Structure 1
Amino acid sequence: MTYRVCLVCMGNICRSPMAEVVLRQKLADHGLSGRVSVESAGTGGWHAGEPMDPRARRTLADHGYDGSAHRAKQFTFEDYDLVLAMDRDNLRALRSRVPEARLFRDFDPAASAGAEVPDPYYDGSFDRVLTMVEAAAEGLAKHLADEIG
């Protein structure tokens, strides 16, 4: 049985696809490849089918990750084991149908309660966002290794 995780932001071209790529690598590092599937999606569908924002993809590539295969999609209320939002606005959008949804940075042991992954689309803070994503992804991978490992 595969444990299913979905990471959610607004348009699925920056934060959540960066988190998806990083989390896959962290899960592999913890021996969970094939046991945990990771997807990302946006609460909005206006970017559906588009590749990741080039700045996000370049930031990932500069740090050894490959985001080239990503295509944006809108979140659908499927049977996920864990749904994680990048920020409180998207969490509110999810909670009407996924009351157990949480914030992604809940898994970053150094983050304060309720910490968000900010949207780098307008301010270009992709490196800062990647640092946050890596910390939360590592924490989540450790959590899942303990839970299902």
Structure 2
Amino acid sequence: MTRADAVVDSAQRFRVSFVCTGNICRSPMAEAVLRSLADRAGLADRLEIESAATGDWHVGEQADRRTLAALERAGYDGSRHRARQFDPADFVRLDLIVAFDRGQSRVLRNWARTSVDEHKVRLLLEFDPELAGVHDVPDPYYSDDATFDRVLGMIERSTSALFRQLAPALRQGIR
């Protein structure tokens, strides 16, 4: 692949970032789920998937051990994840920024420099009509393993709904 091919390839990808509070629980779950869905559908080369945090408490750390365990129980691999903080400069290169609760959504919208960037921010549960009225994915950080599993279930449902919306355009190569 030439440098020009790489630039074209990158430009054709749909770029999504999942953003939660510390980037060690919810957002790594969604990143792993969407990556798996894209891989299984043969569309991994059409998506650029990442996750980040609104805060800097866990930068450089792996996902929470309970996140990794919940992902493993469900058949996902989150072992390579390292937490990072969202950089407002990322708005320019991203197509969609997915928050897990209204607080994170407010923070991200406040960081947006333009109305276009502000409109890139969406709540994850908006993508699942049956869960949209709930608004917020609970933060499992101060909870037990069962809560991590329940939160992963919500994330799987909503991320699958998001992927079903993206997949037709991805198959056609439309951003």
TM range (shorter): over 0.9
State the TM-score, normalized to the length of structure 1: 0.95
Report what 1:103 is aligned to: 123
- Compute the displacement of 1:63 (Å): 1.0
Report what 1:131 is aligned to: 153
Residues of 1 paired with 2:170 and 2:77: CA distance?
26
Report what 1:87 is aligned to: 101
2:39 is the alignment partner of 1:28: yes
2:109 is the alignment partner of 1:120: no
**Residue type of the partner of 1:99?**
E
Question: C-alpha deviations, 1:39-86, integer Å up to 9, x for none?
Answer: 000000110000000001001001111110000000012120000101
- Compute the displacement of 1:123 (Å): 1.7
Residues of 1 paired with 2:134 and 2:99: CA distance?
11
Residues of 1 paired with 2:134 and 2:103: CA distance?
12
Question: C-alpha deviations, 1:114-137, integer Å up to 9, x for none?
Answer: 521110000221011010010011
Between 58-67 and 22-31, report the one with greater CA deviation. Answer: 22-31
2:163 is the alignment partner of 1:141: yes
Structure 2, unaligned stretches of length 5 or more?
Answer: 1-11
Query: Percent of aligned positions with the same letter in both sequences?
Result: 48
Residues of 2 paired with 1:25 and 1:19: CA distance?
10
- Structure having the higher helix fraction is 2
SS in 1 for 2:158: helix
Measured at CA, do residues 26 and 109 of structure 1 come closer, stay the same or move farther in structure 2, by a change above 3 Å? Answer: farther
**Residue type of the partner of 1:112?**
A
Residues of 2 paired with 1:92 and 1:114: CA distance?
17
**Residue type of the partner of 2:122?**
R
Between 30-39 and 11-20, report the one with greater CA deviation. Answer: 30-39
For these two proteins, the number of residue pairs brought into alignment is 149
Structure 1, unaligned stretches of length 5 or more?
Answer: none
Compute the RMSD of aligned alpha carbons.
1.2
Residues of 1 paired with 2:109 and 2:127: CA distance?
18
Residues of 2 paired with 1:31 and 1:109: CA distance?
26
**Residue type of the partner of 1:117?**
V
- Compute the displacement of 1:113 (Å): 3.2
